[in-house]
Amino acid sequence: MVDAAAAPERADGSAFPLYEEQPLVEVRDLVISYRGRPALRDIDLDVYRHEIFGIVGPANSGKTSFLRALNRMDAFNPAMQVAGSIRINGKNINDWRNEYALRSRIGVVFPLPVGLPLSVYDNVAFSPRLRGIRRKARLDEVVERCLTRAALWDEVKDRLDSLGSLLSGGQQQRLTIARALSQEPELLLLDEFSIAVDPVTTMRIEDVLRELRSEITIVLVTNLVQQARRLADRTAFFLTGELVETGVTEDLFEGKVKDRRTTGYLEGRFG
């Protein structure tokens, strides 16, 4: 069992560089169940500011349920129950009386790109408009900045008025990233973002994520262990509803693990 409250140590005994007294996200005793049947048990973990926190594991290990709990998306699914505590910036997310305000500070990118049936421009301007930004010049600026950061601006700058759902799959996924960035989130949740994206676009998005790390914190759920290796500072391994272990990514891949199953999964012996 990982003691999540302690500073993570690298295998050679040096401290993890991003360690801090108050992590951005603190998860304690989290249990998620569907119709009373637990899908995720006794999760304790911390996510530090400005890290990319990878979550790997085979299907049905509870990765997506975990992400959905982080911004209270469990409300969409009446069968899903969340117990335990999740704190973001030290505040329990259930203490937010306005869950919409909580969600507006957390960006989410879903496995399949969801271009809202609006123009490219309106997709990106959606969240700023919800926050009350009305001035065209200001919106233009936000839209251009977010699309540029999502490596999409050059491809769509001449057709901002066409429907977002008409873009290619890879473009739509970058559009959803631009949309998530337009929320100016502290925390960005990505759920297997590369499922519907070609390898070249995946690499471009990965570059974008690496640049974003200096400004925001990213939780990356992925079923591609190599993607976790390329991107994540630390990685958690989920297996059938259990957090097997959390560790500095490079250590896990070098076999410095507490549980043999981790190495087994990372090396592709099962999963």
Is 132 among the residues that bind another protein (CB under 8 A)? no
Helix/strand/coil for 170: helix
- List C-alpha distances in Å: 105 to 45, 85, 98, 180, 185: 20, 18, 12, 9, 5
Name the amino acid, one letter, at 198.
Answer: D
Both structure tokens of 201? 């676009």
Indicate the residue among 64 and 262 with the shorter CB distance to another protein: 64
Q: How far apart are CA 44 and CA 251, in angstroms?
A: 20
> Across the strands, what pairs with 119?
163
Q: What H or E segment, with its residue span, contains residue 183?
A: none
Out of 64, 183, 217, 227, the only residue in the binding site for another protein (CB under 8 A) is: 183
Is 179 among the residues that bind another protein (CB under 8 A)? yes
Binding characters for another protein, 24-63, by CB under 8 A (x = yes): ----------------------------------------
Q: DSSP string spanning 79-101?
A: TEEEEEEEEETTEEGGG-S-HHH
> How many CB atoms lie under 10 A from the CB of residue 19?
14
Is 79 among the residues that bind another protein (CB under 8 A)? no
CB of 57 to another protein, least distance (A): 22
Size, binding site for another protein by CB under 8 A: 26
Length of the chain: 271
Out of 104, 148, 168, 240, the only residue in the binding site for another protein (CB under 8 A) is: 104
Is 114 among the residues that bind another protein (CB under 8 A)? yes
Is 237 among the residues that bind another protein (CB under 8 A)? no
CB of 255 to another protein, least distance (A): 37
Is 96 among the residues that bind another protein (CB under 8 A)? no
Residues that bind another protein (CB under 8 A): 71, 73, 76, 78, 100-101, 103-108, 110, 112, 114, 116-118, 126-127, 130-131, 176, 179-180, 183
